[in-house]
Copies of this chain bind each other. A is one copy, B any other.
Amino acid sequence: MISEKYKKMCSTPSVIRELSVYATERGKEIGYENVFDYSLGNPSVPVPDEFNKAIRELTEELTSSQLHGYSPNPGNPEVRSIVAASLKDRFGLPYEQKHIFMTSAAASAIAHAVRCVTEPGDEVITFAPFFPEYRPYIEQTGAVLKVVPADTSSFQINFDEFEKLMNRNVQAVLINTPNNPSGIVYSSDTLKKLARILEDKQKAYGHEIFIISDEPYREIVFDGVDAPYVSGFYDNTLSCYSYSKSLSIPGERIGYVAVNPAAKDADMIVSMCVQISRGIGHNCPSSIIQMAAARCVSMTSDLSVYEKNMNLIYNKLVELGFEVVKPGGTFYIFPKAMEEDAKVFCEKAKNYDLILVPGDTFGAPGYFRMAYCIDTEKVERSLPALERFVKNEYGAK
């Protein structure tokens, strides 16, 4: 019988998706180059040539079964070793092959990580503003997502509200730094304080509490910003990585879970992921994509364009009188809207062909997200539209 649960979910529209569809439709009327589409977090810079080259070479170097045969469920062993060595080298934790579980990007990494450390009915805490897909990611496992309201002064963690939400049923805390949608990087102080609280709570409650660290933007960090490695602060950490943004290959679905070698049951968690895989139909990511990513393990796309775009937008926003925290990374910025209801604000912006996403979607009403993974030339052309919008609708500063 058709599942009523999933049938009902089909009728809940995605705000971001709807805005993106609107932008495409509007583009058909006035030319897409004239729509300032800040809706989607789709990397705009090309993949490094080396990645495509690796793919071509792999088809010529390896036999059919070496290249296209089953990779073991936790991933290609050589690829896992390369990832472990690279993480060990960069971040100083003693990762080995056994700590790495290859996944179909961060969504799949989180799907495994959550199931590893929660049972249905358990609570998982995350911090606003947060990526809206966290809700289905968590809730479809049977766990319950609790959201700590944003500290809008800095978009670091609102610790007072966090401590209020903490209770014995919390088994995991899901964080995302550099953050979508705020662009903020959690400081060492933030991570130290988070770790200290969780260590105290682990003792008080008599069970582990895991950090699930969603890190697809780890490589997109701007000049002068210190981006500490989360797992270095807290043993019970599962790092969920994706190459989608660093190599501009979101369609290839490749990433991993890296288990902190000092975590509880660290030697077992990858085997648990294998068991979880059987139930969710994962098995392993594409073998050729695993191998190509491993050949590019120390590489990124040219990510400098995102910082250039950020500076252009940030400076204009400040000039126009917006309240905004300067991003430390990603390709997002999350300013305060110029009226209370950000949905109304973003609706008005459409009249200037500016496609902005209301912060309500991210658990932070009154703010809006701009995804500036678009051509710099278009960012430059969008700024006069932004200025017209603000001056016409809200008066000059």
Spell out A's residues near B (CB within 8 Å). Answer: 1-7, 9-10, 42-44, 46-47, 51-52, 55-56, 59-60, 63-65, 67-71, 103-105, 107-112, 115-119, 122, 133, 136-137, 139-141, 171, 207-210, 248-254, 264-265, 268-269, 271-272, 274-276, 278-289
- Specify which of A2, A59, A111, A268 lies most central, judged by the most chain B CB atoms within 10 Å of its CB: A2
* Interface contact B278-A3, CB-CB below 8 Å: no
Cross-chain pairs A/B with CB under 8 angstroms, 10 sampled: A1-B208, A1-B209, A2-B272, A3-B116, A111-B279, A137-B281, A140-B278, A251-B286, A253-B285, A280-B280
* Interface contact B279-A104, CB-CB below 8 Å: no
Given contacts A107-B281, A279-B137, contact A6 B272 (CB under 8 A): yes
A60 contact set on B, CB distance < 8 A:
52
Please give the distance in Å from A377's CB to the nearest CB on chain B. 16
Cα distance, A80 to B283, chains bound together (Å): 22
A208 contact set on B, CB distance < 8 A:
1-2
A7 contact set on B, CB distance < 8 A:
265, 268, 272
Cα distance, A273 to B112, chains bound together (Å): 19
Cα distance, A9 to B268, chains bound together (Å): 11
A67 contact set on B, CB distance < 8 A:
47, 251
* Interface contact A3-B118, CB-CB below 8 Å: yes
Cα distance, A5 to B119, chains bound together (Å): 8
* Interface contact B112-A253, CB-CB below 8 Å: no
